[in-house]
């Protein structure tokens, strides 16, 4: 097996990102439980499932996604009518296909969960409405792929184009830098399937603003949004949540959806995109400090 280089981790941003992924995934799983859907959770820059901060290992986004999904299933009363599947994809050789399944195995063992020998099926015990354990277990199908983000988004689009209207996709996007994200493909996916798809993006607002500066001096930056407001505006009709920034690079998490969450998630730093607080958060993330102070005087 070849050694792979781990994705970067930020002391300020990474722990809150993992908390966000877990919480949003759990919310999405609970919301879809009785809709008879086939729900795909996809991490298109999944890495190898682990981050190291100050010498301490913490979960990567695939494990956080599984934590949220399994937590939701364990809290349900009765078997869900929807079916769940996870897709973990990364372009680097071995990250998603060799290292990540090992980490999923270790994680499942630590939780006492049953995982198939080939790591493609996770079985979750279910409770009945009376609180007793059911004989039936929920299945979560797992797919590990070596693929670029563009390939993965296009594959998801092809799945959603099938005639079955009950397919849903919840996509997590966490590129190493804004220019690496498949913006054009994500926008096309949204335009075609906005009622079937939700996109959660972990993005540095500061890095996006640097894109704007590069354009102003004549550098070509095709498809990359100038700032957070432009990023959200590219997904026409999207509402959802946005999180307060973390660290000097202003890392934020935005969940874009046609189906507005019923309430804010303020205890985790999230506010509704279409609220007054959301508008102010987006403005702060989209402007320089000087520009923001000027427009708020």
Q: What is the tally of structural domains in the chain?
A: 2
Are 5 and 127 contained in the same domain?
yes
End-to-end alpha-carbon separation of the chain, Å?
58
Are 72 and 150 contained in the same domain?
yes
Are 211 and 168 contained in the same domain?
no
Hey, is 144 helix, strand or coil?
strand
Q: Is the pLDDT of residue 3 over 60?
A: no
Six-digit token pair at 70? 């399994």
pLDDT for res 33:
94
The residue-averaged pLDDT of 27-55 equals 92
Q: Is the pLDDT of residue 77 over 70?
A: yes
What is the spatial distance between Cα 105 and Cα 111, in angstroms, rounded to a whole number?
A: 10
∠ CA 70-73-74, nearest 5°, is 85
pLDDT tens string 231-248: 999 999 999 999 999 888
Please list the residues that pair with 252 across neighbouring strands. 203
Residues 6+ apart with CB under 8 A from 137: 114, 123, 124, 125, 126
Is 198 among the domain residues?
no
Question: In this prediction, what percent of the chain has a pLDDT beyond 70?
Answer: 95
Q: Is the pLDDT of residue 12 over 90?
A: no
Question: Is-contact 136 85, C-beta < 8 A?
Answer: no
pLDDT tens string 160-201: 998 677 899 999 999 988 889 999 999 999 999 999 999 999
Is 97 among the domain residues?
yes
Question: In this prediction, what percent of the chain has a pLDDT beyond 90?
Answer: 73
pLDDT for res 10:
58
What is the spatial distance between Cα 263 and Cα 240, in angstroms, rounded to a whole number?
A: 10
pLDDT for res 6:
39
- Torsions phi, psi for 62 (to 5 deg): -60, -40
Q: Give exposure, 40-66, as e/b (b: 16+ Cβ within 10 Å).
A: bbbbbbbbbbbbeeeeeeebbbbbbbb
Is 190 among the domain residues?
no
Alpha helix segments (H runs only) across the chain: 14-32, 61-75, 100-111, 149-160, 183-193, 205-216, 228-233, 276-286, 289-296
Question: Is-contact 202 174, C-beta < 8 A?
Answer: yes
Residue 156: count of CB within 10 angstroms of its CB: 24
pLDDT for res 168:
96
Range of the domain at 144: 1-174
Least confident of 68-82, 152-166, 181-195: 152-166
Are 274 and 145 contained in the same domain?
no
From 174, 193, 216, the end of a domain falls on: 174
Is 110 among the domain residues?
yes
Q: Which residue has the higher pLDDT, 252 or 217?
A: 252
Question: Is-contact 87 97, C-beta < 8 A?
Answer: no
pLDDT for res 215:
84
Are 87 and 156 contained in the same domain?
yes
Please provide the average confidence, as pLDDT, over all residues in the chain.
91
């Amino acid at each position: 097996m070849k050694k792979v280089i781990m994705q970067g981790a930020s002391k300020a941003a990474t722990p809150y990102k993992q908390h966000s992924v877990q919480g949003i995934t759990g919310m999405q799983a609970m919301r879809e439980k009785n809709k008879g859907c086939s729900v795909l959770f996809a991490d298109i820059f999944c890495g190898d499932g682990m981050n190291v901060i100050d010498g301490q290992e913490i979960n990567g986004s695939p494990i956080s996604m599984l934590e949220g999904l399994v937590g939701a299933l364990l809290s349900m009363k009765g078997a869900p009518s929807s079916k769940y599947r996870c897709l973990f994809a990364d372009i680097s050789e071995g990250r998603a296909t060799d290292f990540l399944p090992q980490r999923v195995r270790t994680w499942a063992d630590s939780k006492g969960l049953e995982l198939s020998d080939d790591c493609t099926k996770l079985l979750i015990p279910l409770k009945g409405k009376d609180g007793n354990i059911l004989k039936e277990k929920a299945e979560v199908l797992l797919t590990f792929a070596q693929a670029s983000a563009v390939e993965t988004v296009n594959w998801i689009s092809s799945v959603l184009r099938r005639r079955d209207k009950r397919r849903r996709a919840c996509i997590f996007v966490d590129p190493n830098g804004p220019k690496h994200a498949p913006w054009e493909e994500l926008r096309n996916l949204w335009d075609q399937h906005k009622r079937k798809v939700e996109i959660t993006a972990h993005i540095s607002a500061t890095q996006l603003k640097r894109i704007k500066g590069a354009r102003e001096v004549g550098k070509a930056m095709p498809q990359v949004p100038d700032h957070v407001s432009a990023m959200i505006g590219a997904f026409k009709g999207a509402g959802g949540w946005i999180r307060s920034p973390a660290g000097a690079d202003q890392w934020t998490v935005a969940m874009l959806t046609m189906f507005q969450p019923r309430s804010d998630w303020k205890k985790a730093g999230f506010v509704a995109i279409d609220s007054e607080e959301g508008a102010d958060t987006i403005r702060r993330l989209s402007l320089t400090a000087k520009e923001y102070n000027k427009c708020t005087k």
